[in-house]
A and B are shown apart, each in its own frame.
Chain A
Amino acid sequence: DGGITQSPKYLFRKEGQNVTLSCEQNLNHDAMYWYRQDPGQGLRLIYYSQIVNDFQKGDIAEGYSVSREKKESFPLTVTSAQKNPTAFYLCASSIWVVSTGELFFGEGSRLTVL
């Protein structure tokens, strides 16, 4: 089945530690995205990538880093510089032509900082 796989589903981190969230897609989509969702709120864009080896900052990129070495993979690292990392993280992908179009989402990763 085609789709987006995020792992882990739940993650606990101590303050000061970096943590990496995995996102893999087998939809052959060019574009991939990372969003953050806080309780009762909408999604905010962290980073996005339209092509391998290229990515752009979104609205809240501070304290996060990404890489796009393969078309299928777009991991997100939450660094110790992120002041309030506890949140629900969603990865998405889309066929990029001239616009974003429909986003396909993974099931999310919930990060809790202890």
Chain B
Amino acid sequence: GAGVSQTPSNKVTEKGKYVELRCDPISGHTALYWYRQSLGQGPEFLIYFQGTGAADDSGLPNDRFFAVRPEGSVSTLKIQRTERGDSAVYLCASSPYDRGGEQYFGPGTRLTVT
């Protein structure tokens, strides 16, 4: 079946602009996660949704970052007033309701802030 998909695959934006990154999880997966990966580093957790609600947003770096999942499927990560330090690959993952389940990752969106 189809895996996790993310759009766009690449996004270049100017400092100060607003961006939205989209994630389509595997059908039927109730849990959805966002991570951020800087060059040469492992991914770092940003936020986790169970259904429509954010169950853990402790990884969001500041209030410029916000994520939604209004219908419990597709999620959008929103970044306001982008800064050069926001440049990274943003990864989305999903997992089934089973709390012991593996997380399945999408290909990521590479964000470059100029």
- Do chains A and B interact in one complex? no
Residues of B within 8 A of A (CB): none
